[in-house]
């Protein structure tokens, strides 16, 4: 470690900010920590360990989150919303404005401008500076080097491990691993080996053919011949959901029941698991039937079996033998939906709505619609309670994250608007919210993706695509996520739920197959896959409110 510099030379460290914690005196370090504490308390900024914010920088962000060891040097000008990962640098005289998300280890050279907003100019009779601003936002992946005097314009996504040469003007997305330069920026060469195309017509067709060829192997590795049951992964316990995921995968890739057992055997087994008193399906090995007097109408853990078993039976050409009796009068439904944890667990609340809507759907198909007005009451509550800021339900996390809100929206809208073919309220706000959420590198960097989070982005965008709102951005996002999704596939094993986990399973395989269809359809290529989800993750309505 270098010796502390003389106090008179502290100004130099405002410009060479990477040296501050090694060379500043203890007194100057204490002053920096006091400054950061004041910013955190007064403005709500979230600052990691060993960050540095020069007092000679103009930091006027509405929201600011700096990861560990990130710094803002003298002369920088920041406004809007900035979220960074660890080890990020904003060097002297850099401008970062609008909504900007940086991954880990993003290094930005001096005099660069990253502008996550834009001026509109639609009205020729109004001066441009008086017209409204638009904000799409900019996201930058991990391990990105941005040279000096670069300009990055609103709406751009910069992929992981890319390099932007000094002086470049970036107006379009930068692929992961690319080195770009010029005005407008163009590909110069690859920092990493040239990627093999995994999307587009050839990539989709090759993937679909391979998955169909390997479908039986994917199912076999999770099937136990002694018990006649499926596991999610070869080492996992037997579960109800694993049997249903096997049915869904076989329907998608083979167009039939899983070949490991006769279809009628699978139908009889699924039907036998329904409790005739409640209409619910418990977990395998449960000695007690589901509680008929549960205060929330049903146990949330077991409630998913309404979806998984109901749609597995549907794919096999059958249905539940008994009505799902937890669906009661409209008043109790409204009381229960009001009691859901929308503020801090919107996913759990949406999960509850999904189960209720699906239970109504299967009951109506069996000729048991229940008390009049039940499903209409649920739709009425959802429609009138959608947040006009997001088009969704629930509140963002304290750090601004939208995970709960977006994931809860997928579940609630899937079981209601999507399942019954009803237009969603405020679809353009939904698109805005989903696109903002999908720029969070904590969740959507390829190695951090999981099937739930990507599905919960893909489905709302598919559901709202008829609006034409921000179509170009939706298409670019779908192309990127589709490329990532195809890269998660493992030969003869399928997909892991969490992309980075080593063991693929039935749940991950079923969900990623549905995701790939949705993303391919958003890019106009779904016909190349030769399948379409018809089960839990079906995109098209299963019924209408007017009839069964």
**H or E segment at 218?**
helix 215-220
How far is it, in rounded angstroms, from Cα 299 to Cα 278?
11
At 4, list the tokens. 């502390």
Residue 119 annotated as catalytic: yes
| 539 CB neighbour count, 10 Å cutoff | 18
Sign of the C-alpha dihedral computed for residues 266, 269, 274 and 280 taken in this order: negative
Residue 522 CB: number of other CB atoms within 10 A? 21
Judge whether 533 and 513 are in contact, CB under 8 Å: yes
**Catalytic residue chosen out of the listed positions 9, 119, 301, 540:** 119
Which class for 345: exposed (0-12), middle (13-18), buried (19 or more C-beta within 10 A)?
middle
HSE of 245, CA atoms in CB hemisphere, 13 A: 29
Q: How far apart are the first and last CA of the chain?
A: 74
Residue whose token pair is 């410009």: 15
CA distances in angstroms from 412 to 322, 351, 378, 474, 511, listed in the order given: 24, 6, 10, 21, 17
Find the Cα–Cα–Cα–Cα dihedral 447, 178, 489, 456, rounded to 10°: 60
Q: Which residues of 20-36 are buried (b: 16+ CB within 10 A; e: fewer)?
A: bbebbeeebbeebeeeb
Query: Does an H or E element contain 314, and which?
Result: helix 300-315
- The DSSP code for 415 is I
The dihedral sign for the CA sequence 424, 426, 430, 432: positive
Per the CB < 8 A criterion, the answer to whether 333 and 374 are in contact is: yes
Q: Within 10 A of 65 (CB to CB), how many other CB atoms are there?
A: 20
Where in the sequence numbering do the catalytic residues fall? Answer: 119
């Amino acid at each position: 470690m270098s010796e502390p510099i003389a106090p008179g030379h502290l100004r130099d460290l405002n410009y060479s900010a990477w040296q501050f914690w090694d060379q500043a005196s203890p007194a100057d370090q204490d002053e920096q920590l006091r400054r950061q504490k004041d910013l955190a308390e007064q403005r709500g900024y979230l600052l990691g360990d060993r960050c540095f914010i020069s007092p000679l920088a103009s930091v006027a962000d509405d929201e600011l989150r700096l990861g560990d060891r990130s710094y803002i040097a003298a002369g920088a000008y920041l406004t809007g919303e900035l979220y960074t990962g660890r080890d990020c640098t904003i060097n002297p005289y850099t401008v970062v404005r609008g909504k900007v998300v940086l991954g880990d280890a993003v290094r930005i050279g001096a005099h660069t401008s990253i502008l996550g907003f834009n001026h509109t100019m639609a009205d020729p009779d109004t001066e441009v500076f008086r017209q409204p601003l638009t904000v799409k936002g900019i996201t930058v992946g991990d391990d990105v080097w941005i040279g000096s005097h670069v300009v990055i314009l609103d709406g751009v996504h910069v992929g992981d491990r890319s390099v932007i040469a000094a002086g470049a003007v970036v107006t379009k997305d930068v692929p992961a691993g690319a080195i770009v330069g010029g005005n407008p920026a163009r590909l110069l060469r690859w920092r990493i080996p040239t990627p093999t195309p995994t999307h587009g017509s050839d990539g989709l067709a090759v993937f679909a053919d391979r998955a169909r060829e390997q479908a039986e192997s994917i199912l076999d590795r999770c099937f136990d011949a002694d018990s006649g049951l499926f596991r999610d992964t070869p080492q996992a316990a037997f579960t109800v959901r694993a049997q249903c995921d096997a049915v869904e995968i076989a329907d998608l890739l083979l167009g039939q029941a899983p070949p490991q057992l006769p279809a009628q055997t699978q139908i009889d087994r699924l039907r036998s698991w329904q409790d005739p008193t409640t209409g619910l399906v418990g977990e395998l090995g449960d000695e007690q039937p589901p509680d008929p007097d549960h205060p929330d109408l049903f146990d949330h853990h077991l409630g998913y079996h309404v979806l998984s078993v109901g749609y597995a039976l549907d794919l096999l050409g059958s249905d539940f033998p008994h009505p799902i009796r937890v669906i009661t009068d409209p008043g109790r439904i409204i009381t229960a939906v009001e009691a859901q944890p929308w503020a801090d667990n919107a996913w759990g609340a949406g999960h509850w709505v999904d189960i209720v809507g699906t239970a109504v759907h299967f009951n109506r198909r069996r000729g048991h619609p229940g008390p009049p007005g039940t499903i209409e009451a649920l739709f009425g509550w959802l429609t009138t309670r959608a947040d006009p800021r997001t088009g969704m339900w629930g509140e963002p996390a304290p750090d601004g994250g939208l995970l709960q809100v977006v994931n809860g929206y997928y579940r609630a809208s899937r079981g209601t608007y999507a399942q019954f073919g009803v237009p969603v309220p405020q679809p353009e706000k939904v698109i805005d919210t989903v696109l903002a959420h999908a720029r969070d590198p904590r969740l959507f960097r390829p190695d951090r993706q999981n099937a739930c989070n990507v599905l919960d982005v893909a489905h709302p965008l598919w559901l709202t695509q008829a609006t034409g709102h921000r179509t170009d951005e939706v298409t670019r996002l779908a192309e990127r996520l589709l490329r990532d999704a195809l890269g998660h596939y493992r030969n003869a094993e399928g997909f892991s739920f969490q992309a980075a986990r080593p063991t693929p399973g039935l749940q991950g395989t079923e969900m990623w197959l549905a995701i790939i269809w949705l993303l391919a359809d958003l890019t106009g290529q779904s016909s190349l896959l030769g399948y379409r989800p018809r089960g839990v993750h079906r995109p098209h309505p299963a019924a209408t409110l007017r009839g069964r």
